[in-house]
Amino acid sequence: MKKVFCIGELLIDFVAEKQGNDLSRATHFTKKAGGAPANVACAISKLGGKSIFLGCVGDDPFGQFLLGVLKTEGVDVSMAQLSKTFTTLAFVSLAEDGERDFVFSRGADKELEYDPTLRKSLKGNILHLGAATALLGGSLEKAYGKYLFDGLTKDMFISFDPNFRSDLWKENEEQFIKKCMPFIEKSHLCKFSLEEAQLLSGKDDVNQACDFFHKMGAKIITVTLGKEGTLLSLTDSKKLIPSIEVSPVDTTGAGDAFIGCLLYQISDLGNFDPVFQDCDVLEKMVVMANKAGAITTTNYGAIPSLPTKEQLEK
């Protein structure tokens, strides 16, 4: 089984307790562990995979809490870094349909330093670049680019999820698009939401968006479409893979559960050839990943809601 290295933010989600209220009206919040790469790492570990988290938290009670949560979920946090800067915080409200509203208070996550000693560990494994904050500057952004280079030179399977957050890129979307391009060009697998696919390609039609990304160099593309399922796009074929029906209460972490489940299955192959050579293998993987994402929406909180292997096999 291959190891999956997940790079980016680990943060505190302060979730408004009264579901349906917006943040301006919320008065009580519950502390939860969050951050897209951390969620993905937990999703992989919970399914029985080997995930390693590379990120930075504050050397404070919040940071210790977060690392403790990941350890409990079986994630390797031995390469995580501590900073004197406060741990990054996100304030989250949930609408009645389970959709989210975010406000970020950015802290230690931006201070992740590139560690060249990891290069030997990376060889032949999987690199997941799925941070929401990595392209906002700081040493994290520099490390992100260097790990991409390492992934290319160390024969890694590279996965990219732009994790666009409108609140983080207000009136600066063009910069976000520009910064994403090298990662789309070099990654083997790109996971987008419909909004991200349209924004980054400039195409309203999702099929045209996928064609645009393939021309850039992306080999495998998944576009998650909520209850409609996922569009799986390869250079020579496209197929809409349906999801299961659920009654969502919280969509936080659904996309992370999807890509985490997909990467777990790829890691479990032992080698990456079937992913590129057998469409049926990929389709079956996406079916399972859709199920993982759907199950995650049926409970509150991303990490506690991530499914186990037993749940997926029911």
User: What is residue 7's three-state secondary structure?
Assistant: strand
> Which structure tokens are listed for 263?
């990467």
pLDDT by residue (tens digit) across 226-258?
Answer: 889 999 999 999 999 999 988 887 777 899 999
Place of tokens 């991303």: 302
Cα dihedral value 175, 178, 180, 184, nearest 10: 170
Q: What are phi and psi of 240, to 5 degrees?
A: -85, 120
Q: In the prediction, which pLDDT does 114 show?
A: 97
pLDDT of residue 100: 65
pLDDT in tens, 111-133: 999 999 999 999 999 999 999 99
Q: Is the pLDDT of residue 16 over 90?
A: no
Per the prediction, the chain carries an average pLDDT of 93
The edge-to-edge listing of strands for the beta sheet with 126-129 is 50-54, 3-7, 126-129, 157-160, 189-193, 220-224, 230-234, 237-241
Domain over 3-9+35-66+75-81+110-313 is classified CATH 3.40.1190.20: yes
Q: Are 110 and 138 a contacting pair, CB within 8 Å?
A: yes
pTM of the full predicted structure? 0.94
Question: In Å, how far are 11, 14, 89, 97, 98 from 94, measured between CA atoms?
Answer: 18, 11, 16, 8, 6
Task: Look up tokens 């579901």; give the residue.
Answer: 19
Residue 32: beta bridge partners?
A: 13
